[in-house]
Structure 1
């Protein structure tokens, strides 16, 4: 699979004239103060603690949150940094404070991101025969290698129509779920991961996806039994999946970009699957020969 472009979800598209990614509340004139207070409370940080981090005063933070003081552009960005506000939402804070958005949202197929696309392709292809893929903020698959294609064996064509979604492919009762031997554990891990992301990002599309996949029925064929005769000490929770009469075990790792300056880039994640036992590693090496 190759990298493809992804568009703005129409359910969250802003009104005309408002930059992509800007919540309707901001366009309606909601001030920056309430937004900053909401992020501070979400992070469970006191005004005094935030002031200390941002080299300010609790009094000034209070004035900003109540609208009695208009923060400078630099202060908005500094507070957003210390509150770990996602890049997309930092633009919203700037707009609410009366400043221009700082971070562009470049389409993935834009020539400006050509070097990035090529680098991601080389990265996941170089990881073969082990599986690797790239997803966006709502788990839309934008790139995947042949190792991922192997894991999708047996998935019906109806679920493989673009745009592919990694969570749907994994948890749908007609997707990979029936072949995951420890589905209960792996499903719990994925749902908890999404819950953490929802707490970090104010994303209605992500919440809608979570509610959809959490409601999928668990296939009767799925199980949670231990691997017969196995004494392998797993160092992280593995995904154990059936493939052509054998059980393969993988642990996953997720990577993101350091200090992204573009909304699109900030929301990309690279997930790689590492063999969790010698048998899986040996089998995958035979595929690469």
Structure 2
């Protein structure tokens, strides 16, 4: 049976903090932190949340801490398609539409695609249909040989970036499914020699071979900074921008001659699994 003290100790060690570091951050004594971790003191719900805040524990795991301490969970986990999340859905749809003709998608904590705009479909034309069965996983889609990997011209650089992202996410959340995803695509592979793809001044691009042309994209990641709902906190918006004028022109031309750009979500949305 897990205890709140054991869980807090695990998070403290994951953050590489001493008991004194945590005590100073939470404005309590080091002895108190020791008593909580060893189960000799029962923290209040407010104290559990204070310590969790100092440790930057995700909302899902804060609920777990509260339950282990004998309290009710504080943070709700609403379904994204539920009636009380309509404002969130509208905001996400606006973001995706506004980003066209450039691709953008929204993923959950395990990299499953929740929503995507229509330009994303242009890149999925030759993907194995098995990878498009719900839930569609962005990491698997990108690095499985049946997916986008053969068309990413600077695959070693892109793989290195995603290896680092998943490693940081695993350290932050401790999510075993992220660990499994990391093991599947990164853990047992030797780091690849980089091929010297010329970097931009500001970011490493993702370069696709697309219809006998090169499309170079840079990405940004957006999250909800004030989320008080588990589902909302775990969503991230991956937005891609052309890295050069030629790529921008290709994407604009696709939008003009393609289909479906007036919709907020692409066919990926129709295949999505639960958030």
**TM-score, normalised to structure 2's length?**
0.87
- For the residues of structure 2 that align with 1:67 and 1:161, how far apart are their CA atoms? 46
- Given the superposition, is the C-alpha separation of residues 91 and 240 from structure 1 closer, same or farther in structure 2, using an over 3 Å criterion? same
Partner of 1:108: 80
Does structure 1 residue 76 correspond to structure 2 residue 43? no
CA contact (8 A) 2:119 2:255 kept: no
Q: 1:43 aligns with which of 6, 15, 19?
A: 15
Matching residue of 1:21: none
What residue in structure 1 maps to residue 138 of structure 2? 166
Between 55-64 and 127-136, the greater mean CA deviation after superposition = 55-64
| Deviation of 1:159 (Å) | 1.8
Comparing 277-286 with 179-188, greater Cα deviation is found at 277-286
Q: Deviations over 1:9-47 (max 9, x none)?
A: xxxxxxxxxxxxxxxxxxx3x221111111111101111
Counting only pairs closer than 5 Å after superposition, residues 134-153 of structure 1 correspond to structure 2 as: 134-153=106-125
Aligned-pair RMSD on alpha carbons?
2.0
Indicate the residue corresponding to 1:4 in structure 2.
none
37-46 or 154-163: bigger deviation: 154-163
Following superposition, the deviation at residue 233 of structure 1 comes to 3.7
Structure 1 residue 256 displacement after superposition = 1.0
Number of aligned residue pairs: give it. 253
User: 1:165: how far off?
Assistant: 0.8
| Whole-angstrom distance in 1 between the partners of 2:101 and 2:217 | 13
Equivalent residue for 1:206? 178
- Offset of 1:123 from its aligned partner? 0.6
* 1:217-236 paired onto structure 2 within 5 Å: 224=195, 226=197, 233-236=200-203
Structure 1 match to 2:71: 99
Within the alignment, does 1:286 sit opposite 2:256 as a pair? no
Q: For 1:253, which of 211, 217, 220 is the aligned residue? A: 220
Q: Distance in 1 between matches of 2:178 and 2:21?
A: 30
Q: Does 1:238 align with 2:205?
A: yes
Give the Å deviation of 1:153: 2.2
Identify the residue that residue 270 of structure 1 maps to in structure 2: 237
Task: Say if 1:241 and 1:248, in contact at 8 Å, map to a contact too.
Answer: yes
CA distance in 2, matches of 1:170, 1:224: 19
> 1:239 and 1:190 mapped to 2: Cα distance?
11
Q: Does the 8 Å contact 1:249/1:280 carry over to 2?
A: yes
The structure with higher relative contact order (CA 8 Å, sep 6+) is: 2
- Secondary structure of the structure 2 residue equivalent to 1:210: helix
The CA deviation at 1:126 is 1.1
Please list the CA deviations of residues 176-209 of structure 1 after superposition, one character each: whole Å capped at 9, or x if unmatched.
0001000011011112211111111121111112
In the alignment, which residue of structure 2 is the partner of 1:129? 101
Query: What are the superposed Cα offsets for residues 59-114 of structure 1, whole Å, 9 maximum, x if unpaired?
Result: 11111111111111111001100100011000011111111110111112211111
**Runs (5+) with no aligned partner, structure 1:** 1-27
Give the SS at the match of 2:220.
Answer: strand
Q: SS where residue 97 of structure 2 aligns? A: helix
Q: Note the alpha carbon deviations across 1:204-253, whole angstroms, 9 max, x for none.
A: 111112222337999xxxx94647xxxx8442011000111111111111
Provide structure 2 residue ranges, at least 5 long, that are not aligned to the other structure: 257-275
